[in-house]
Chain A
């Protein structure tokens, strides 16, 4: 494996340099000089001319807050800036999105990676929220940051309806839906129902829903949309959809198909299939990702399907997507106190399940870091939904604020573990160690470590 380049310097992701406004929003870059900022603040040259004075003031507000919060080192500023913008002009997102070609990406897992893939595959500058701010304020900030006609935004599951009605996207990608952060999001069935209502609503004739046909909750969510492209992509996690999303009876599974006696079933018209190879609308597409994990192949297939709808040839786009390596630090190699760490983000049972499959063959020892802050979900009981028993024979070093919760889970599951109060005491291994971490734990390790 070669040393991955940080994603924000990758030509594949940003083939043409972003507009200066977009630079303000880039993660981990030093803030630009003051004179430059003032110029950007007052300039609305890159914006459409049907904006009212109020909108322009709002846009200035977004930029000002973004710059200020970066200078004051209070985060990347995208959320605060976007919030100010929406406060000044509640219709700002709608106006900023007007006339642009937008792809929205949502789902429990793979949003950030798939969004980066769509951005890379488009092959031109895109306005995107690659700082991880995936609610409306983050969308506003992304659209203020770049005037590109091409937009790809990741959307928090709970904000899909608001984002769809404001942005009026051309494509909505529904990756998957499973249990995640139940303390702050609603339960998965409620979420699927909210998606269904929103996608059955106005604008359906001009909007394509790219949906995972192997996730019954996603199929339910897309079932009343006017235009759907069903994607037959591998989806291992089925624990949240054993009972029918429509009637709650048991789903019957036969081979790669499934149905319920109420008539709800896996769609049969499949525009995209990913089995031995990827086929999009009858064409074979040479998918050879740099990113690990077959879940990323599913993400790429759906990214390519979305790009097809906006007129990008999948065979051209796939070469760009194949070149994508780390996404927001995920899947990257990092160095820390003599250790070489492969950083992997997993936030919920299905994400962990997929990563265990990816790492279990190559690694004897694993580091797993678990926190339970607000961004992680404050209830770590989901650890009991992760099939950690599959790690029997491995040794897990338990890290993070909730390492004891993890350790107890592993002990009951019969997996060897060490509770690590001081990571410096872990013996250095000559080979790279996989570090699986949930959201805030991942951020800590990304910050703490250096690129290789």
Chain B
């Protein structure tokens, strides 16, 4: 007799005190709720300052200010984060989180800081800050969000952008974010998974390894409204 073993899905929000300035903590809540409502056991954990990196299937990195962003990089390079990502853990990184995954980033002034070096992307300081609504075409699907950053990110060979920018700037005015292995990165706040339920489900499906049944929620109405609002302007 085969006993069914239920997988407990662990979702870890990393260093929200440093990388949680723009409501990005909501991404963890959205993933956990959408998984739970499909009958999955979910543990939503937080790595606070001073904590060890928890073991998790999904790691979430958010946006933050310049100083905290550098500290987050320093804290994550010490532990097992790199190894866990190499081992196949899924990562959703937003804004400053996107930047620290790369080889280097410039924040205050033009000083360049070494990133975690997990993905071949580099972020320079852009001439102007990008603040406003972001609309990205991700394989024919609209991704909506709000960007607020001063970076210009260039992707190395072999790193695929997440999508093409239709409104706003994203990485460089042409593309937003990147996909690399099990890593998803974007400049979109909102939080991005609250505004784009399809992206939350795509992420969950990639981790759970099977299709999820549809989930009707007011988030769909919100998504449709935001897409319509951004397309009409």
Contacts and interface: CB of A to CB of B under 8 A. Distances in A.
Interface of A: 179, 182-184, 187-190, 239, 242-243, 248-250, 378-379, 381-385, 404-405, 407-409, 411-413, 417, 419
B9 to A, nearest CB: 16
Interface stretch (B153-161, B175-183, B188-196): B188-196
B132 interface: yes
Contacts of A411: 217-219
Contacts of A384: 23-26, 29, 191, 194
A37 to B, nearest CB: 41
Contacts of B29: 384, 412-413
Interface in B3-32: 17-18, 20-26, 29-30
Given A179-B21, A385-B25, A404-B225, A379 B148 contact: yes
A383 B221 CA distance: 17
A108 to B, nearest CB: 14
Contact of A404 (B22, B132, B222): B222
A383 B26 CA distance: 9
A383 B71 contact: no
Nearest to B193: A412
Nearest to B218: A407
B187 interface: no
B50 interface: yes
Contacts of B30: 412
A371 to B, nearest CB: 13
B71 A381 contact: no
A381 B95 CA distance: 14
Given A379-B148, A381-B26, A408-B194, A187 B21 contact: yes
B67 interface: yes
Contacts of B191: 381, 384
Contacts of A184: 131
A434 B223 CA distance: 29
Interface string B193-225: 010000000000000000000000111011001
Given A242-B49, A379-B22, A384-B23, A408 B217 contact: yes
B18 A248 contact: yes
A248 B68 contact: yes
A189 B65 contact: yes
Contact of A383 (B23, B50, B68): B23
Contact of A381 (B50, B68, B146): B146
A417 B221 CA distance: 14
A438 to B, nearest CB: 14
Contact of B71 (A183, A248, A417): A248
A408 B218 contact: yes
A243 B131 CA distance: 25
A381 B192 CA distance: 9
Given A182-B148, A411-B219, A243 B49 contact: yes
B24, B29, B194, B218 interface centre (most CB from chain A within 10 Å): B218
Interface string B127-146: 00001110000000000001
Contacts of B50: 250
A404 B23 contact: no
B218 A249 contact: no
Nearest to B217: A411
Nearest to A413: B29
Contacts of B133: 378
Contacts of A188: 65
B33 interface: yes
A158 to B, nearest CB: 14
B30 to A, nearest CB: 6
Contacts of B48: 242, 250
Nearest to A385: B23
B131 A382 contact: no
A341 to B, nearest CB: 24
Contacts of A383: 23, 26
Given A412-B194, A413-B29, A404 B221 contact: yes
Contacts of B219: 408, 411-412
Contacts of A404: 218, 221-222, 225
A381 B70 CA distance: 23
Contacts of B225: 404
B85 to A, nearest CB: 24
B17 A182 contact: no
3 tightest A-B CB contacts, nearest first? A384-B26, A381-B23, A250-B49
B49 A419 contact: no
A59 to B, nearest CB: 36
Given A187-B65, A384-B29, A404-B222, 4 more contacts: A250-B17, A378-B146, A381-B190, A408-B217
Interface string B27-68: 001100100000000000000111000000000000001011
16 contacts: A189-B65, A242-B17, A242-B48, A243-B68, A250-B17, A379-B146, A379-B190, A381-B24, A381-B191, A383-B23, A384-B26, A404-B225, A408-B194, A408-B218, A408-B219, A412-B29
Contacts of B49: 242-243, 249-250
Contact of A249 (B23, B65, B71, B146): B71
A385 B189 CA distance: 13
A183 B168 CA distance: 14
Contacts of B67: 189, 248
Contacts of B65: 187-190
Nearest to A398: B218
B25 A243 contact: no
A381 B22 contact: yes
Contacts of B18: 243, 248
A417 B222 CA distance: 14
A250 B22 CA distance: 19
Nearest to A349: B23
